[in-house]
């Protein structure tokens, strides 16, 4: 009897084990069936999308992301398995409803934080019977370049019309006042001023055009920075003397840079002229130069009113003027600092700004030193560098205001 009871228990255990094994096997089979029924792209679609060269997102019937390219995540179109932007979901709904291909250019937030946006050309179309494909092409840089070009053309047209119109009106006034000697002199003086302004504007436009076509890498040569400073200072003496402003040069470098000397002189002259234009009479403009960590830094410091943070963000834009009325009075074209920025970029360098209202401004042009210089070449360049245009070399560049010492350092950090 005892043996029968044991045999019964063993049989019950084996039966229970068999039932459990069957259920586990069924569950695994069902899981495999579910896996087999997971969304799959039409044959060949994955291979085509892999080489299409554009960001893509494939969504199912409920707009769940079936597949997305790394670029789609980088653009911020997809987060996890969700399409982020309502505009894209509206496009998928339209394709699903009407069965047509939709194409739009959208400006979308790049991420959940900040104000950055991305401009994308999006094309939505059916993929197979149940999926919708979104193809996105980043057009941000192209669109903004077109906007800058259009703004530039519009601004040039506007800026040219002003002096041309003034000259035309002055010519008519001059003709009608032929018998009034005082009026003739007054109108002639105004015409001379407007023609000078027009000539300066045309020259700056020509400089910008030349910069865009210049290849410093192919046409450059070793340039002595000391000679660049001397020539730029010499060219700026006349406007400085008209306001009794003294140009003070401090420092010297034996390092050379590789580039176009004429362009570098133009850039530095624009910085000096800008400092003179916005400095009060009977003040000083300081120019400092030094070499450090493979960079040659040239700083121009004025004793003007300084710039607000808002103006500092836009001061290098074409035709931007902090004070339009004052710039027109002083003859500024609004292109000088834009030219400086282009020259710095073409030479692999940069131009930075430190400024505070009431404490003046310091513009710093930094250029990479030319590699492969030897001591003999540097000494020869130092001996040959012209010096007549240097003034008060024993004095440091002019600075002012609390903590003004080290304005060059502040300019480098701007």
Q: Alpha-carbon distance 78 to 81, whole Å?
A: 7
Indicate whether 326 belongs to any domain. Answer: yes
Using DSSP's 3-state secondary structure scheme, residue 306 falls into coil
Domain finish residue from 114, 138, 162: 138
Out of 109, 138, 167, a domain closes at 138
Kindly report, residue by residue over 133-144, the tens digit of the pLDDT. 999 998 887 887
Regarding whether 80 and 146 lie in a shared domain, the answer is no
Q: Is 189 in the same domain as 259?
A: no
Count how many domains the chain has: 3
CA angle 122, 127, 132 (to 5 degrees): 50
Residues 234 and 327 in one domain: yes
β-sheet bridge partners, residue 258:
222
Angle CA 369–372–378, to nearest 5: 70
C-alpha span between 406 and 399 (Å, rounded): 8
Q: Is residue 23 part of a domain?
A: no
Query: According to the model, what pLDDT value does residue 342 have?
Result: 80
Is residue 393 in some structural domain?
yes
**Low pLDDT (below 70) residues in the chain:** 1-41, 111-116, 148-159, 162, 204, 206-219, 312, 317-334, 371-414
Considering the domain architecture, whether residues 66 and 77 belong to the same structural domain is answered as yes
pLDDT value of position 45 = 77
Q: Indicate whether 70 and 162 sit together in one domain.
A: no
Does residue 27 sit within a domain? Answer: no
User: How many angstroms separate the CA atoms of 304 and 152, rounded?
Assistant: 28
CATH code of the domain containing 61: 3.30.450.20
* C-alpha to C-alpha distances, 249 to 82, 286, 338, 359, 406, nearest whole angstrom: 61, 6, 24, 20, 15
Same structural domain for residues 266 and 226? yes
Residue 274: its pLDDT value, please? 87
Within this chain, do residues 355 and 222 fall inside the same structural domain, yes or no?
yes
Structural domain includes residue 396? yes
Q: Please tell me whether residues 339 and 287 are part of one structural domain.
A: yes
Task: Classify residue 24: in a domain, yes or no.
Answer: no
Counted residue by residue, the chain has a size of 414
Q: Do 288 and 337 belong to one domain?
A: yes
One domain for residues 193 and 67:
no
pLDDT score recorded for residue 27: 59
> Do 334 and 405 share a domain, yes or no?
yes
CA dist 73 to 79, 93, 107, 141, 301, Å?
A: 7, 21, 16, 19, 46
pLDDT of res. 380: 43
Determine how many CB atoms are found less than 10 A away from the CB of residue 165. 11
**Alpha carbon distance 373, 110 (integer Å):** 45
pLDDT of 285: 92
Q: How far apart are CA 297 and CA 253, in angstroms?
A: 9
Q: Is residue 306 one of the residues assigned to a domain?
A: yes
Domain housing 161: 141-213
Instruction: Provide DSSP, 358-411.
Output: TS-EEEEEEEEBPTT--HHHHHHHHHHS--TT---TTSPPP--STT-TTHHHHH
Q: At what angle do helices 140-176 and 181-213 cross, to 10 degrees?
A: 160
**Chain segment 73-112, per-residue pLDDT in tens:** 888 899 888 998 999 999 999 999 998 999 999 988 876 5
User: Quick one: 242 and 373 in the same domain?
Assistant: yes
- 148: CATH: 1.10.287.130
φ/ψ (deg, to 5) at 374: -110, 165
Asked whether residue 285 is domain-assigned, the answer is yes
Q: What is the CATH number of the domain that holds 313?
A: 3.30.565.10
**Final residue before a domain boundary, out of 72, 103, 138:** 138
DSSP letters of 183-219? HHHHHHHHHHHHHHHHHHHHHHHHHHHHHHH--HHHH
**Main-chain dihedrals φ then ψ at residue 233, nearest 5 degrees:** -65, -40
């Amino acid at each position: 009897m005892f043996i029968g009871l044991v045999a019964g228990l063993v049989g019950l255990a084996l039966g229970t084990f068999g039932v459990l094994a069957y259920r586990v096997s069924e569950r695994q089979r069902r899981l495999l069936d579910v896996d087999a029924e997971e969304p799959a792209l039409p044959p060949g679609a994955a291979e085509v999308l892999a080489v299409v060269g554009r960001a893509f997102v494939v969504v199912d019937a409920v707009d769940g992301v079936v597949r997305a390219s790394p670029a789609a995540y980088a653009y911020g179109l997809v987060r996890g398995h969700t399409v982020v932007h309502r505009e894209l979901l509206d496009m998928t709904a339209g394709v699903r409803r009407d069965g047509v291909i939709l194409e739009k250019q959208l400006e979308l937030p790049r991420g959940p934080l900040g104000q950055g946006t991305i401009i994308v050309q999006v094309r939505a179309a059916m993929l197979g019977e149940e999926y919708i494909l979104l193809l996105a092409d980043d057009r941000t840089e192209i669109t903004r370049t077109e906007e800058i070009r259009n703004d530039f053309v519009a601004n040039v047209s506007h800026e040219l019309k002003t002096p041309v119109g003034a000259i035309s009106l002055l010519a008519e006034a001059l003709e009608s006042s032929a018998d009034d000697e005082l009026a003739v002199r007054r109108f002639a003086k105004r015409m001379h001023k407007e023609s000078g302004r027009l000539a300066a504007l045309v020259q700056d436009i020509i400089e910008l055009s030349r910069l865009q076509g210049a290849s410093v890498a192919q046409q450059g040569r070793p340039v002595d920075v000391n000679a660049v400073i001397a020539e730029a200072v010499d060219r700026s003496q006349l406007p400085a003397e008209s306001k009794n402003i003294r140009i003070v040069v401090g420092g010297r470098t034996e390092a050379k840079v590789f580039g176009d000397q004429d362009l570098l002189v133009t850039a530095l002259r624009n910085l000096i002229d800008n400092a003179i234009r916005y400095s009060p009479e009977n003040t000083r403009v300081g120019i400092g130069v030094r070499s450090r960590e493979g960079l040659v830094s040239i700083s121009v410091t004025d004793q003007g009113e300084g710039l607000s943070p808002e103006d500092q963000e836009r001061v290098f834009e074409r035709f931007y003027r902090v004070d339009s009325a004052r710039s027109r009075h002083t003859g500024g074209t609004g292109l000088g600092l834009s030219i400086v920025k282009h020259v710095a970029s073409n030479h692999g360098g940069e131009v930075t700004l430190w400024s505070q209202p009431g404490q003046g401004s310091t513009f710093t042009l930094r250029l990479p030193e030319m590699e492969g210089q030897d001591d003999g070449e540097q000494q020869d360049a130092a001996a040959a560098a012209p010096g007549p245009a240097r003034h008060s070399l024993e004095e440091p560049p002019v600075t002012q205001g609390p903590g003004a010492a080290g304005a060059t350092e502040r300019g480098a950090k701007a």
